[in-house]
Amino acid sequence: MHQRRPNILFVLSDQHNPHWLGHAGHPWVRTPHLDALARAGLRFENCYCQNPLCVPSRAALVTGRYSRNLGIYDNQHILEANSVTFPRILSQAGYRTCLIGKAHFNGEQFHGYQQRPYGDWFGQAHQPDPRRTPDKGESGLGEWLQQPGPSGIPLPLTQTEICVAETAKWLQLHQGLHPQQPFLLSVHFDKPHFPFNPPPALFEHSLRHARLPRVRDPHFRTSVPFVRQAIRWLYPAEPGRLSNAEQEQRRRTLAAYAGCVEWVDDAVGRVLEVLDYLGLADDTLVIYSSDHGEMAGEHGLWQKSVFFEASARVPLLMRWPGRIAPAKRVAVPVGLIDLFPTLCAVAGVSAPATCDGQSLLPVLDGGRLHRDAVYSESVLLKQPEHAGCMIRSGPWKYNLYLDGAEELYHLPDDPHEECNLAGKSQHAARVGTLRRQVERFWEPQAQLARYQRTPRMAREKHFYFYSNQFLTGEGIVVDAQP
């Protein structure tokens, strides 16, 4: 029998390409625990982040608001203290709330969570591997394409393993001290985000199987200016002009990314094992997602910020025994902003009027979700003049950029987004309709002003020497080495 208000375990990874899952059809990556989670519950096949960059995406997720309504587009932008967030609402509603791992909050570090024993209080969450050295620059991470390989950090000292250990400890304490009180426990892993340095066994296994995706259209000369600028910013060489050594380096990068995906999967499996062993599984809604994707060589591209599916779409899995029917798949487009009102509905409280998303509870209960569109926005890091807005409406994806450039893709016929239909005369009417819809939502004429009026950190969190910190019972924040 369920509690009237269930526990909520929200697992968030960082930079997980939605194609890189066994149940999504990936040919060689192993994700048995996430696959089992999908079989046991609900799989949203078209969930989008609201901004394919860490800080903006996480701010939109925790507030349930689009970037256009927050003004947060950059990794130095600050979410206003005392913002209305889902952990704040659930804390006020009687839930015990805790965040373990990466939040990428600038400024205030709780945003409604009552406890935060471990995470990126001062640092960036991502650990330089094996350790920070002067040649790795201010972030300590080094050049992302040259660093992939097996981890050189003792496994118990890695952010992934500490998150698992702290989660097990927190759940044990909860059972011992507050077994009748519902909880919201957010566990945020920093992987598979770079640096791509998984445990050696996972890297070696993936290296035996890794194959670079075939690149049909590398977008280096034919794409819209926004994508070309992203390429200049992120990508060191054109795929068609890579030497054999460069090709092998990228294959190693892909293998290391796969190892990090499998590492997260294994960590999720161990967290769920703890939940089950403690007798909590039947009364807990489990959610797995990621803040944004990773291009991982698709179109010859890497990292994020663009609107291709590998970058802007994310996994979203939910399991709730006795409430969500197993092995259910939902194709209607949804967004990470929908998690706030969904969690409120699950907890039996009203979502605040500030939420831009809508509750997914009807879908969880076997009903249908009626939605016209979901949006995503992007600004290239530290380049506010390069900005865009995406709409996913039914089978169509349309992108409008600040310079007026457009893209239109029909995803069922063109799942790899290789044929931009925006310039085709037979699609002129549809392009016009979607353009007007995006313009009403995004108000591109106000975009630069929104970006510029948002308060910013003087520096990114990268400069701090240690990536994560512990908060002691005495309220002291202590660096977690390395």
pLDDT per residue as tens digits for the range 218-249: 666 778 999 999 988 876 556 567 788 988 99
Percent of the chain with pLDDT over 90: 88
pLDDT score of 150 more than 80: yes
User: Cβ distance 96 to 72 under 8 Å?
Assistant: no
Q: What is the pLDDT of residue 360?
A: 97
| DSSP-derived 3-state class of residue 333 | coil
What's the rounded mean pLDDT across residues 450-460? 96
Q: Which residue ranges make up each domain of the chain?
A: 7-480
State the pLDDT at residue 240. Answer: 62
Regarding predicted confidence, which is higher, 469 or 218? 469
pLDDT of residue 406 exceeding 60: yes
Say if residue 2's pLDDT is above 90: no
pLDDT digits (tens, 9 = 90+) for 14-43: 999 999 999 999 999 999 999 999 999 999
Structure confidence at residue 143 as a pLDDT band (50, 70, 90): confident
Residues 274-289: pLDDT tens digits? 999 999 999 999 999 9
Query: Which DSSP string corresponds to 396-463?
Result: EEEEEETTS-EEEEETTT-TT-----TT-GGGHHHHHHHHHHHHHHH-GGGHHHHHHHS-B-SS-GGG
In sequence order, what are the beta bridge partners of 96? 183
Q: What is the CATH number of domain 7-480?
A: 3.40.720.10
In the structure encoding, which two tokens stand for residue 72, read together?
Answer: 């947060």
pLDDT digits (tens, 9 = 90+) for 45-56: 999 999 999 999
Is the model's pTM score more than 0.85?
yes
% residues pLDDT > 70 (the chain): 97
**Contact indicator for 116, 205 with CB cutoff of 8 Å:** no
pLDDT above 60: residue 429: yes
- Which residues are CB-contacts of 197 (< 8 A; sequence separation ≥ 6)? 129, 130, 147, 148, 149, 150, 151, 152, 153, 203, 256, 260
Give mean pLDDT, residues 436-441.
98
